Chains A and B, each alone.
Chain A
Amino acid sequence: MRIKSYSEALRDALDQEMARDPRVIIMGEDVRPGVMGVTQGLYDTYGPTRVIDTPISETAFIGAAIGAAMTGLRPVVELMFCDFAGVCFDQILNQAAKLRYMTGGQISLPLVIRTTMGAGERAAAQHSQSLHHLFTAIPGLKIVVPATAEDAAGLLLTAIRDPDPVIFFENKMLYDSQMSVSDPAIALPFGKAHLLREGDDLTIVALSRMVGFARTACDELAQKGISADLIDPRTTQPLDEAAILGSLHKTGHLLVVDEGSARCGMAADIASLAASKGFHSLKAPVQMLTPPQTPIPFAPELEDAWLPSSGDIEKAAYTLLQKV
């Protein structure tokens, strides 16, 4: 074990896989200097054929990564902000996600698109979104949303080894968060939720940065005699339905916390899971805690109000348990 930041853990995982498998290459804007931090230093080890700075042409370089994945490489491509998916959406939606199915299984695409999500940097509406739910809705993709350095590294190894296209959402607000992590990283399976706290009164399902906030909330709640299961699904496709439904069966109360969209987002998706497959376990309506359905504002006061906090999670738990 070693103390590492989320960002260092990701970089070391990339390094580990690049050393292990010469077919792994990195592509993207400013990946050589490592403008986002994660790819820093890899160029020095692996050189220009494996760490490739591209033009600011997301369609061309994501498409190229798809074509390369079809023909023997295992590209890990960096899309600086998930907000930028707008300019290359076709390559993800219509190419990466569908090529295997449309060709009757003739093609496999060992491709990872690493991207960032998360509000809080005072970066306003085009550099702060969390769009994991959008991609979860597209069959053919696998979606990873790690909340800790250990999960980030372990799931990145799995993503790179996976034969299918994976969209890997790093929360940029977590890059500097430190923890003791396995060294070298240990691959973690997709579709296996992480149970961070165990309790009987309610189930909290949280994703990405909301997991840390929910942990703080759980500690506060514990002091007031309320105990919760805290579940981080870690991947939204595949989604560990059994872990969520099992916990709900025990507690009867479900709170879902997500930084993605209020409408048609992961919170709504998991609430619908509870309604359709866990209805008889529910002792109260499912609580969904998400940002409001608005673009993300710039002014710090507004952005802070936009993003759910640990205090909001605590309050939502009281509401759910009717202890307001």
Chain B
Amino acid sequence: MQLPRDTLLRLWRTMVRIRAFEERLILENRKGGIAGHLHLYIGQEAIATGVCAHLADEDAITSTHRGHGHALAKGCDATGMMAEIFGRATGSCAGKGGSMHIADPKRGHLGANGIVGANAPLALGAALSAKTLGTHGVSVAFIGDGASNQGAVFESMNMAAAMALPVLFVIEQNGYGEYTRTDAVTGTADLAARAASFGMPAQQIDGTDIFAVYDATQSAIHHARTGLGPTTLVATAPRFGGHYEGDNQAYRSASDMQKARDQQDCLALYRNRILEAGLLEARDLDAIVHAAHSDMEQAARQARADAPPAPAALLTDIYAKAL
């Protein structure tokens, strides 16, 4: 596909920023000072980037525990996210959500979710609002391959199809749910066929190929915006790291991990393709990488310096109208 130079640069910039954000997190986590777990998205950047490239602020996403990439691709502010992950008052959720609950409704990000599969019904609701209020908005639920076995997801697929809601279900097939291979606990190998059985178009795509993700999403979003209802995309891409940062992955073969980095790195694949085709110059790409790393370093420095929430914050934000 022939994409304009602007778009090519934008896609690269988003993927690179996600990678840089999380590489920065790995470094900062080693230094200490980050509480809780980090579920990293490295290896899957092309999926969030290719999908969210088609979304405006009026379009909604709901995300997962592995959600930094979705948030950055949807336009959330990296500095606020970094501060949130450090548990700061300046964080995007005032330090009350952390890594697993980043949200920015003004950007159409309705929240990452700590309950596997629970974000799917929420995306239906945003689609229902769009349909009822006539905004032409669509919504996207990002769903892990493990999460795809949840009843909440099945119910949502059925209801979205029955009501022709403008929803896109994006199943990210990284092969694992925590330490367990998803294929070992899933009755079918064909997640797209399973989704299609609910009465919607569904397609298996290579999630390391951002052009494949971009194209498939474009059709799915068009389908949704024209009132034809939901679509499911099953995008395959490896998780480079463990379930969480620090997971030693004793359950995973060294060759599997090596292969992911050497042959399935969506950033390297993109870069090679773009340079081979002479679409962009190496220095353009590299400048974006440098800028991203310096932005993330700055975001982390800022987050370290920021103050934690004041004790009084404990008792605020429970209700919009106090009891």
Contact = CB atoms under 8 A, between A and B. Distances in A.
Contacts of B103: 99, 102-103, 106-107
A63 B319 contact: no
A101 B101 CA distance: 10
B151 A238 contact: no
Interface in A93-116: 94-95, 99-109
B321 A49 contact: no
B183 interface: no
Contacts of B318: 100-101, 139-140
Contacts of A57: 155-156, 158-159
Contacts of B139: 67
Contact of A60 (B95, B124, B319): B124
Interface in B103-137: 103-106, 110-111, 113-115, 118, 120-130, 132-133
Interface string B150-183: 0110011011001100000000000000000000
Given A142-B319, A164-B320, A238-B323, A102 B93 contact: yes
Which one of A61, A94, A103, A163 has the highest number of Cβ atoms from chain B below 10 Å of its Cβ? A103
A103 B93 CA distance: 4
A162 B321 CA distance: 7
Given A71-B130, A104-B317, A191-B323, A59 B151 contact: yes
A62 B121 contact: yes
Contact of B159 (A55, A68, A102): A55
Given A57-B155, A102-B93, A103-B111, A164 B319 contact: yes
B321 A104 contact: no
B241 interface: no
B320 A100 contact: yes
A70 B121 CA distance: 12
A300 interface: no
Given A103-B93, A106-B103, A59 B60 contact: no
Question: Interface size bucket, A side?
Answer: 35 or more
B274 to A, nearest CB: 36
A139 B319 CA distance: 9
A61 B132 contact: no
A112 B115 CA distance: 22
Given A60-B159, A63-B152, A107-B103, A71 B126 contact: yes
Given A64-B159, A107-B103, A100 B125 contact: no
Interface of A: 23, 25, 49-50, 52, 54-55, 57, 59-73, 75, 90-91, 94-95, 99-109, 139-140, 142, 162-164, 190-191, 237-238
Interface of B: 60, 62, 91-97, 101, 103-106, 110-111, 113-115, 118, 120-130, 132-133, 139, 151-152, 155-156, 158-159, 162-163, 316-321, 323
Across chains A and B, which 5 residue pairs bring their CB atoms closest together, nearest first? A67-B125, A63-B121, A104-B94, A60-B155, A105-B317
